[in-house]
C-alpha cells in the first residue's frame, strides 16, 4: 500500500474471529433459534460467515433500503421481508451502524410487526457518528470515521469482494470510484 492511500485495518483472520465471537453470542442468546434480518447489500458477506458459525436453528431474510434523497436521512424499504416476524426473536444484521438513522428506521418498522424481541448485530460500530441512539447488543468492532472498503463495504459497488477491510481516504474515490482498484486488488 502506498502512503496516503488505502491501508488494511481488519485482516481475514480478524474478520473470522469477529464472526466467530458474534455467532457464539447469538447462539447462546437464542438457543431455540432466531431470524436474522440482513440489510442488503453490504451485510451479505458478514451474514454468510455469521450463519455458518452459528450452532442453533437460523432463518435468514433480507431488507432492501434506499434513501429518498442524499443527506436527508430519510429512507424507504425497497425489498421487504418474506418471513412474518410476529412473535419471533429477530436480529437485525448490519455491516456498519453509523449515524443510527437507517438502523432506527428499520428497528421501528420491525417492532411494529410484533416480534418477541428485536436486537441489532453489527460487524462495525461507528459510535462517533451516532445521531440517533441505537441499542447495539452484538457488536464486532468499534471503528472511527475512516471510509471502510471490503468484506461487503463498497463505494459505487466496488471493493465489496475484498476478503479484508481497508481504510481509504475518500477524496480520490469522489473523483474516480476505481481509484484504489490497482492497490487493493494487487494489479
- Annotated active-site residue in 98, 145, 154, 176: 98
Report the C-alpha gap between 63 and 136 in whole angstroms.
18
Q: CB-based contacts of 36: which residues, under 8 Å, 6+ apart? A: 47, 50, 51, 58, 59, 60, 61, 90, 91, 93, 121
Decide if 80 is catalytic: no
- Of 128, 58, 67, nearest to 96 by C-alpha is 128
Query: Catalytic positions, please?
Result: 98
Amino acid at each position: 500500500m502506498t502512503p496516503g492511500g488505502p491501508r488494511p485495518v481488519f485482516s481475514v483472520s480478524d474478520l473470522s474471529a469477529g464472526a466467530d465471537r458474534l455467532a457464539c453470542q447469538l447462539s447462546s442468546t437464542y438457543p431455540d433459534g432466531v431470524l436474522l434480518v440482513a440489510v442488503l447489500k453490504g451485510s451479505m458477506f458478514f451474514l454468510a460467515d455469521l450463519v455458518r458459525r452459528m450452532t442453533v436453528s437460523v432463518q435468514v431474510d433480507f431488507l432492501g433500503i434506499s434513501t429518498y434523497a442524499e443527506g436527508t436521512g430519510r429512507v424507504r424499504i425497497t425489498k421487504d421481508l418474506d418471513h412474518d416476524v410476529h412473535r419471533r426473536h429477530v436480529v437485525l444484521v448490519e455491516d456498519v451502524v453509523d449515524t443510527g438513522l437507517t438502523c432506527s428506521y428499520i428497528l421501528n418498522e420491525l417492532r411494529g410487526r410484533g416480534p418477541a424481541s428485536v436486537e441489532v448485530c453489527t460487524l462495525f460500530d461507528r459510535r462517533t457518528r451516532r445521531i440517533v441512539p441505537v441499542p447495539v447488543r452484538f457488536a464486532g468492532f468499534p471503528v472511527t470515521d475512516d471510509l471502510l472498503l471490503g468484506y461487503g463495504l463498497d463505494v459505487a459497488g466496488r471493493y465489496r469482494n475484498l476478503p479484508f477491510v481497508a481504510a481509504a481516504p475518500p477524496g480520490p474515490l469522489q473523483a474516480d470510484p476505481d481509484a484504489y482498484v490497482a492497490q487493493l486488488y494487487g494489479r
